Structure formats: C-alpha cells, structure tokens
C-alpha cells in the first residue's frame, strides 16, 4: 500500500499537472470503487467542476474542486484512497482490445494500462486515471464539509509533519501505548501515513527492536524514533517513494527509495551497519518486521 512518501509524491505531481483544470466527463467500469455518492449520481455531480488544489491527509488524496474558480463558491472534495494496488496517473489513453493504450510513448507501462478502472477527462485533453489491479481503491465525493467529517478523515491521527507534533506530543502519543512499537507506528489513528515499509526503516535508523513495548521506551529512545521518522520520510519523499512492489508516480514512473532502503524486504542480507544479517519476523495481523538482531536488540 502506498504510504506517506508515495502519496505525497502523487499529490506533488497532481498539483503541477491538474490545477485549474475542469472535469469534463467520467468513465468507469468498477462501480464498487465509488463509495459516495450513488454511482448513478457521481458523474452528474462532479462534471463541470474545476480543480483548485490537491492535498494529502494520511494516506488519502484530497482533490479540492469548485463550480466557480474565481469566486470559489460551493467547495467540493474528491477523496481517493489507493489502497493496496492503486495508482493515480495523469496521461492520455485510448480504449482498444479490452484495455487502455497509452498515447504517451515510454511513460505508462502495459501492467498499469491493463488495470485502469476510472478516468476523469480534463478540459486540456489529458486524463486523470485510477489503475487498480485488485479494485480495492476507494473514492468518495461530495461537499467539502461533508467529506471532511467522514471517519476516513476525522478519525485519522496527527501527521508526522504537522507542526503540532512536537517531540513532547510524540512522546505522549507513543509512550502511552502498551503495544510493540512497530504496531504503534502503523496505527493510523495515532500518527497517520506510516506503514510497513517506513516503520521498519525508522526503527532501524533509531536502533530500536520492532517488538519493544512502546511504554517501556526511554525518553532518549523515543527522541531517536521521532528524529528518525523525520529523516526517513523526508528522504523517501525526495526519492519519490518506494517501488519494490508496484507503486508508480503520476507519470507511471517508479520511485527510487527502494534502492536506498536499509532493512525492508532485505532479510538474509548484511545489515548496513555490518553487525549481522537482517531477519524477518511476523507481527500482528500477519504483517512482517525486518530488522538487525544486533543493532536493534530486544
């Protein structure tokens, strides 16, 4: 699943590519992706709206729209959660032989084109498409206040880059949890945006074992996790995310953090610090944790 760096990369791309564009139509063949409003009302309600800006809330992408760009009259929100295998792409496609063929050579690969299930047509001839192999992605649309008050947004924890997330607040949130720190870092209702990849990377940099109980961590250890979180996430955004699985940016290109990662999916390889071989263990909900048993002692 795309995590904070991947989602932020997509948001940054969309802010460069689709701002001030008007949605002129919608095509889709997987209605279950559209959770709100009723499918038969979706195109009717969103057609003709202009895109004001795109932002991230946790792992959600929020596209702000309006009927009148200059007056910014009635504001709307299009919420898109890419889930496990979703990709948001900006390009040009033509339908043919059961799939969408890219009209921009060398950008969108065939794997991505085969799984396009919704397209927003824009007034400059380009399209915003959602490609999703498993069809787990979620789309919700409606008046801004209505969407912002949904549990998907309202119940999300503080963002790692929120100025209100001081070290003191971080310690209060994390240090009060009687659960393994790996699990706590991935809890979206506490701190939003961190998933399997970056929790492993953060804990390796901080030299903390993933199964250490959060409430037993010292102030210095919590400070190390806090600082490592900032470092890892900023580096991953700079490198445009991780594509060792199937993530692609808005142009269909892979992120580069996968080449720089320290421990995630590197079991059997030597720890970057040279201490031992990286191991992989199972944690809650069939998730995995990758770590060095020497520099991340229990």
Q: What is the DSSP string of 185-212?
A: HT-TTTB-S--HHHHHHHHHHHT--TTS
CA pseudo-torsion sign 31, 33, 36, 42: negative
The residue among 152, 199, 126, 201 whose CA lies nearest residue 35 is: 152
Tell me the Ramachandran region of residue 125: left when phi exceeds 0, alpha when psi lies from -120 to 50, beta otherwise. Answer: left
**Domain map (residue ranges) of the chain:** 4-154, 167-291
Active site residues: 2-3, 59, 287
pLDDT in tens, 78-94: 999 999 888 899 998 88
Bridge-based pairing state of the strands 138-143 and 75-81? antiparallel
Tell me the average pLDDT across 219-242.
98
CB atoms within 10 A of CB 232: 28
Q: Give the bridge partners for 139, in sequence order.
A: 34, 80
Confidence of residue 23 (pLDDT cuts 50, 70, 90): very high
**Mean pLDDT of the residues in the chain:** 92
Q: Give the bridge partners for 280, in sequence order.
A: 290
- Fold: same for 4-154 and 167-291: no
What's the pLDDT score for residue 252? 86
**pLDDT of residue 161 exceeding 80:** yes
Show the beta-strand stretches assigned E in the chain.
Answer: 23-28, 34-36, 50-57, 60-66, 75-81, 86-91, 93-96, 99-102, 116-122, 127-132, 138-143, 279-282, 288-291
d(CA 241, CA 2): 8
Confidence of residue 70 (pLDDT cuts 50, 70, 90): low
Residues in the chain: 298
Q: Which CATH number fits domain 167-291: 3.40.50.12160, 1.10.3720.10, 2.60.120.260, 1.10.8.50?
A: 1.10.8.50
Q: Which CATH superfamily is domain 4-154 in?
A: MutM-like, N-terminal (3.20.190.10)
């Amino acid at each position: 699943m795309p995590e904070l760096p991947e989602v932020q990369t997509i948001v940054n791309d969309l802010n460069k590519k689709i701002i001030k564009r008007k949605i002129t139509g919608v095509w889709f063949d997987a209605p279950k992706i559209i959770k709100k409003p009723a499918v038969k009302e979706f195109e009717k309600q969103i057609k003709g709206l202009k895109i004001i800006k795109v932002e991230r809330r946790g792992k959600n992408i929020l596209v702000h729209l309006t009927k009148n760009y200059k007056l910014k009259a009635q504001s709307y929100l299009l919420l898109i959660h890419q889930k496990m295998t979703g990709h948001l792409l900006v390009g040009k496609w033509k339908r043919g032989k059961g799939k969408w063929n890219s009209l921009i050579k060398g950008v969108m690969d065939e794997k991505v084109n085969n799984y396009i299930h919704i397209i927003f047509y824009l007034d400059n001839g380009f399209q915003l498409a959602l490609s999703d192999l498993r069809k787990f992605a979620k789309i919700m649309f409606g008046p801004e206040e209505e969407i912002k008050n949904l549990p998907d947004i309202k119940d999300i924890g503080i963002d790692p880059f929120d100025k209100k997330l001081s070290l003191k607040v971080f310690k209060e949130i994390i240090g009060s949890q009687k659960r393994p720190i790996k699990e706590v870092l991935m809890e979206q209702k506490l701190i939003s945006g961190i998933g399997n990849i970056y929790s492993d990377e953060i804990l390796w940099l901080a030299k903390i074992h993933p199964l250490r109980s959060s409430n037993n961590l010292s102030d210095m250890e919590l400070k190390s996790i806090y600082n490592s979180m900032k470092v890892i996430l900023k580096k991953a955004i700079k490198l445009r995310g991780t594509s060792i699985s199937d993530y692609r940016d808005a142009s269909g290109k892979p992120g580069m953090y996968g080449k720089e990662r320290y421990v995630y999916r590197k079991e059997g390889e030597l720890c970057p610090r040279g201490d031992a071989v990286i191991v992989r263990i199972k944690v809650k909900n069939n998730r995995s944790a990758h770590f060095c048993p020497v520099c991340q002692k229990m």
